[in-house]
Structure 1
Amino acid sequence: MSTISDKSAAHDKDLEDQRSGISDQQEVKFDRGIPDWKWYLVCVGIYVGALLYGLDTTISADVQGPILETFGDIEKLSWVGIGFPMGSVSIVLLVGALYALFEIMWIFIGSLILFEAGSALCGAAPDMNALIVGRVVAGMGGAGMYLGALTYITTFTSKKEQPIYNALIGLCWGTGSILGPVVGGGFANSSATWRWAFYINLPLAALISPVYLFLMPTHNPRPDTSAKQKLATIDWLGAFLFAGMFAILQVALTFSGSLWKWNEAGPIALWVFFFVFLVGFVVQQAFCIATIPSRRLFPVHFLKSRTLVLLYTGTAASSTGLALGVYYIPIFFQFTRGDSPIKAAVRLLPYICVFVASVMLSGGLLPALGRYQPFYIISGVLLVIGGALMHTVHLDTSTSKIYGYEVLMAFGAGMSMQVAYSVAVAIVDKTDTLNAVGFINVAQIGSLSIGLSIAGCLYQNIGFDNIKNAVSAYHFSDAEIRAALGGAHSAILASGDLTLQRLVLEAIAATLRDIWVLTIVAGAVALVSGILMKREKLNLEMTAGG
């Protein structure tokens, strides 16, 4: 069981321990075992991987309308966005365990192949089901690529270098997130169609593939242990229960009330199975069933730390706030302003650019200040204010006001998005470093997926009721009403009846106002988490999360 405490003094000592043969003025160069030119090319490779991971995190934000026009299935549309983070979080803890046991080069390349296979399936998808499977597979591969980048940096850089390299990983992920909606919207609005929003990963990966295949350095963390023995140490039962629990939750949230009524057998069975998996995972991890404390998948001992629990909830809140803005701001503009996907993406740029800028600002200020509590308080306040202002947006609200509200939400989400990675690593034992990164990754990626699932459920259910009530005099079918939620090209909105269009658009605007209540709640969670945190000052190094 690890002891979790403030380790400022120990942290300084760790820095000293990493130095070998240091005089008062000069430090011996860290020996990576490979030439510098080769290492720089390797860095290009892992940073491109982080860029692609960020790109796919947001690329579906502006292609959902064209995808709906191609396939229909409005009830499944939210899975285009949810599938990727769901795939990532379902295996993030398992992949972390694999990197701690096996040759890291092959785990990285395997993750890349999985990511590209998922992207290819998305681009060639014949129907919505195939597209969803592709998004989940790509998300699984993307998580492995990102954790692989962090593992390479940890293994092949000195303590002094790591903050710089990790910051660049975060910068590349952020750049990919900025480009995602623009790239997706651009392809959706071109003759290449939305399919190339996913195909684009293939030529980019092919371009850098010689680095992955011939230059990536090798490192086996357990060279004296056979593959069979390594596989035997993995908490497979925990991995199965965790993945099943998370996947069933997403399905239940997505389909309840839209594909099935809440009181039908389908959603009831799903919720029962979810609670069975949840209880099973909790019991299995708590009592180390089919594993031992040092090998269980989830770091249960972290739950005894007030700081780590609050870092988890604060990170989950900021991630939820980010995701809601990325996915629902374009929807508002596409409906109310008649924007094309590319124009809606351009309108999202202030949001994402301010978010990335605030992430970089907090990353620079955190090591200098050493205090992490203020970041969560500021984040919570700005998310609450921004979400409350978005909750007042109507059909005729000026675009300039909406941009201002976007900026508040984006700045709030960014101020605490990455902070937990540095703080968590600083306060745990050295042997728990990878566990700490995985713990915060689950908070960040998992909450993003759950937040989008809840929002999608609200959008489908509340939106259906709002439109049905608004157009009750027209006697449209339920299928036509649900189709109106999917885009401006539905039969109802393309009817040419301006009065009818106004009624539907006002109903959709009202639905989106309810979505922003989730942002207010997320901000409140971040604020309360910040208020309850210790007023302590740590000696911190920056680290990056995706």
Structure 2
Amino acid sequence: MGLEIESMPVIDKYGSTTTTEQEAGDSAAEVVQISNPRWLSVCIGLYLTSFLYGLDSTITADVQGPILASLGDLPLLPWVGTGFLLGSVATTSLFGSLYTKLEVKWLYVGSIVTFEIGSAICGAAPNMNAMAVGRVVAGIGGAGMYLGGMTYIAIFTTPARRSLYTALVSAFWGLGCLLGPVIGGAFAQSKATWRWSFYINLVLAAVTAPIYIVSFPRHGAHCDEKILPRIKDLDWLGALLNATTYALFITACTYSGAEWPWGSGSVITLWVMTGVVTIIYMLQQWTAFLTTKEDRVFPVWCLKSRSLVLLYIATAGGSAVLNFNIYYLPLFFEFTKGDGAIKVAGRLLPFLFLMIFSALLSGALLPKLNLYAAWYVISGILALVGSVLMFLISTTTPPGNIYGFEVLVGAGCGLSLWVAYSIALVKSPADKVTSALGFINVAQLGGGALALAIAGTIFQNVGFDNLQSALDGKGYSSSEIRAALAGGYSSIISDSTPEVRAIASDAIGRTIAHTYGISISGAATVLVVGLLMRWEKVKMV
């Protein structure tokens, strides 16, 4: 399904595409046509990298405890999860520029190699510092893989088929997210240890390497030009400021209250630096300082399009909902029900199954029912209702009820989250397709990363206050209470009396439920933006 192209592209040796041999003209001798078997192998490669990206996004959900027990250094534990997202979102804009300047195939392959290097560093990490570095490196490679996959789809599929291919990529990403906690937990509980949660990426890459090297077509007007002249004019200052902005914001969220008091000089300095660098970055992009308007790392031209701006905001809101639920639904069941990795994955099935199903449904029907604003309105309503209901849950809420709420949120996420990739390309000039892709990618990865950073701050701060109040008089220190929020390897969760575990589970469960304000905000954003969009049909042929 979805593995054949409607009209196979013809690609000349420079990567220029045409749709028929006649259009190729006298260059027919230099033309390579993508056969259906070759296109099938290309799709397998695209879906596999999407799967790996989803897998690595959640594989640490159930191995943070074993990693902490092995490497120690609790203050750095949040970077096991946020480091990957930070690496991704901090480099997405840069990759968007690079894909317009460099050969698509080799940049894509280079991203895969970077991802595998990061995985190797994590697997071999001797301490938490190395683990944090490895997660950031893997996130950088993951961003390149994800954007590269979307670029291939934009180049080699017709608009009518593009939404379905995008939905298939999202489906494999969702499958990776689903299996991440299972695979990570299974390795952590086996003799292989948690390190194989990362080494497994190397094995899969080695097996599938021939697909990327042999089957993937080249594309780009600069295929035969040297690399340095093509990248010297990139907006390197903008890329640095962009990465620094996200790094400072996520660092500030991670340490505020959890490690350093809110009123401390360190926290105040972090937030001030975040604000200053953000303003400098915005001014540098607006004035094109040390770059040109065409080469700016952020596609500022997109801000002149009302439709693209609304698509950006809606995608960020939908991504916030999706990423929050993928991370915090497992935590709720882990803390309140004592579930292990495999059981937690089963609890997530209603959410992920409906997310994948609705994404495929959206991809298949969008070309026919292409009043795209309606997709966002319906999506926002479903996700908002489900998120509000999740906000009201407690440890006594029957699991069946929670599954129903998951269905609503999952269906709402899937219906609209990837729609922007198809609509943005239709509404963008042909020569700015990759730039528009980067714009939407920044929204998707940035929305998820910022939502998780803010959610982590709320969880750590509110959770600490709730636990401290609930366990008042039980003799637990502040450090023990902090450790309890890291999972089952704390004395409060693993070695306490049933009464204490019940009190702690209830307090943490209430904290996670209240943190669903993040999901509510994201869903409301999707709904409001959908209502503000033009109620127009777009031609997708």
Q: TM-score, normalization: structure 2?
A: 0.90
Q: CA deviation at 1:232?
A: 2.0
Structure 2: gaps (5+ residues) = 1-16
Q: Quick one: distance in 1 between partners of 2:219 and 2:432?
A: 19
Q: Quick one: distance in 2 between partners of 1:210 and 1:298?
A: 34
Q: Quick one: distance in 2 between partners of 1:234 and 1:415?
A: 36
SS in 2 for 1:348: helix
Report what 1:109 is aligned to: 109
Q: Quick one: distance in 1 between partners of 2:298 and 2:452?
A: 24
Deviations 1:238-295 (A, max 9, x none): 1111111111111111111111111112111111221121111111111111111111
Are residues 154 and 259 of structure 1, via their aligned partners in 2, closer, same or farther at CA, if it must alter by over 3 Å? Answer: same
Partners of 2:170 and 2:356 within 8 A in 1: no
Q: TM-score, normalization: structure 1?
A: 0.89
Q: Quick one: distance in 2 between partners of 1:255 and 1:117?
A: 27
Whichever residue aligns with residue 250 of structure 1, its letter is I
Partners of 1:377 and 1:526 within 8 A in 2: yes
Q: CA deviation at 1:60?
A: 2.0
Q: Quick one: distance in 1 between partners of 2:400 and 2:278?
A: 45
Partners of 2:151 and 2:437 within 8 A in 1: no
Matched, 1:411 2:429: no
Q: CA deviation at 1:197?
A: 1.5
SS in 2 for 1:473: coil
Report what 2:328 is aligned to: 328
Partners of 1:78 and 1:453 within 8 A in 2: no
Q: Quick one: distance in 1 between partners of 2:380 and 2:105?
A: 40
Are residues 32 and 159 of structure 1, via their aligned partners in 2, closer, same or farther at CA, if it must alter by over 3 Å? Answer: farther
Matched, 1:396 2:402: no
Are residues 21 and 491 of structure 1, via their aligned partners in 2, closer, same or farther at CA, if it must alter by over 3 Å? Answer: closer
Give 1:141-160 correspondences, 5 Å limit: 141-156=141-156
Report what 1:441 is aligned to: 441
Matched, 1:509 2:509: yes
Q: Quick one: distance in 2 between partners of 1:285 and 1:47?
A: 34
Higher mean Cα deviation, 56-65 or 231-240? 56-65
Q: Quick one: distance in 2 between partners of 1:327 and 1:539?
A: 37
Partners of 2:285 and 2:298 within 8 A in 1: yes
Partners of 1:121 and 1:130 within 8 A in 2: yes
Whichever residue aligns with residue 103 of structure 2, its letter is E
Give 1:299-310 correspondences, 5 Å limit: 299-310=299-310
Report what 2:129 is aligned to: 129
Are residues 44 and 522 of structure 1, via their aligned partners in 2, closer, same or farther at CA, if it must alter by over 3 Å? Answer: closer
Report what 1:471 is aligned to: 471
Q: CA deviation at 1:41?
A: 3.2
Q: Quick one: distance in 2 between partners of 1:229 and 1:178?
A: 43
Q: CA deviation at 1:117?
A: 0.7
Whichever residue aligns with residue 472 of structure 1, its letter is D
Give 1:18-167 correspondences, 5 Å limit: 19-20=19-20, 32-33=32-33, 37-156=37-156, 165-167=165-167
Report what 1:278 is aligned to: 278
Q: CA deviation at 1:334?
A: 1.2
Partners of 1:367 and 1:540 within 8 A in 2: yes
Q: CA deviation at 1:162?
A: 5.0
Deviations 1:307-344 (A, max 9, x none): 21111111111111111111111111111111112221
Higher mean Cα deviation, 350-359 or 178-187? 178-187
Partners of 1:387 and 1:519 within 8 A in 2: yes
Partners of 2:96 and 2:437 within 8 A in 1: no
Report what 2:365 is aligned to: 365
Q: CA deviation at 1:159?
A: 6.0
Q: Quick one: distance in 2 between partners of 1:445 and 1:151?
A: 16
Give 1:200-215 correspondences, 5 Å limit: 200-215=200-215
Higher mean Cα deviation, 97-106 or 431-440? 97-106
Deviations 1:419-446 (A, max 9, x none): 1111111112112211111111111111
Matched, 1:374 2:374: yes
Are residues 212 and 423 of structure 1, via their aligned partners in 2, closer, same or farther at CA, if it must alter by over 3 Å? Answer: closer
Whichever residue aligns with residue 76 of structure 2, its letter is K
SS in 2 for 1:200: helix
Q: Quick one: distance in 1 between partners of 2:323 and 2:35?
A: 41
Q: Quick one: distance in 1 between partners of 2:164 and 2:511?
A: 43
Q: CA deviation at 1:473?
A: 1.1
Deviations 1:36-69 (A, max 9, x none): 5445434433332222122212222332333333
SS in 2 for 1:423: helix
The two structures, once aligned, show a CA RMSD in angstroms of 2.4
Are residues 308 and 165 of structure 1, via their aligned partners in 2, closer, same or farther at CA, if it must alter by over 3 Å? Answer: closer
SS in 1 for 2:473: helix
Report what 2:486 is aligned to: 486
Partners of 1:62 and 1:342 within 8 A in 2: no
Q: CA deviation at 1:181?
A: 2.5
Partners of 2:467 and 2:507 within 8 A in 1: yes
SS in 1 for 2:116: helix
Q: Quick one: distance in 2 between partners of 1:312 and 1:290?
A: 26
Partners of 1:238 and 1:281 within 8 A in 2: yes
Q: Quick one: distance in 1 between partners of 2:166 and 2:391?
A: 36
Partners of 1:62 and 1:345 within 8 A in 2: no
Matched, 1:288 2:294: no
Matched, 1:232 2:201: no
Are residues 219 and 375 of structure 1, via their aligned partners in 2, closer, same or farther at CA, if it must alter by over 3 Å? Answer: closer
Q: CA deviation at 1:527?
A: 1.2
Identity %: 45
Kindly tell me the number of residue pairs found equivalent between the two proteins: 520
Whichever residue aligns with residue 334 of structure 2, its letter is Q
Q: CA deviation at 1:225?
A: 4.7
Report what 2:241 is aligned to: 241
Whichever residue aligns with residue 206 of structure 2, its letter is A
Q: CA deviation at 1:34?
A: 5.8
Are residues 481 and 222 of structure 1, via their aligned partners in 2, closer, same or farther at CA, if it must alter by over 3 Å? Answer: same
Report what 1:500 is aligned to: 500
Deviations 1:472-495 (A, max 9, x none): 112321101111112234212334
Are residues 36 and 329 of structure 1, via their aligned partners in 2, closer, same or farther at CA, if it must alter by over 3 Å? Answer: closer
Q: Quick one: distance in 1 between partners of 2:37 and 2:384?
A: 48
Partners of 2:334 and 2:344 within 8 A in 1: yes
Q: Quick one: distance in 1 between partners of 2:325 and 2:164?
A: 29
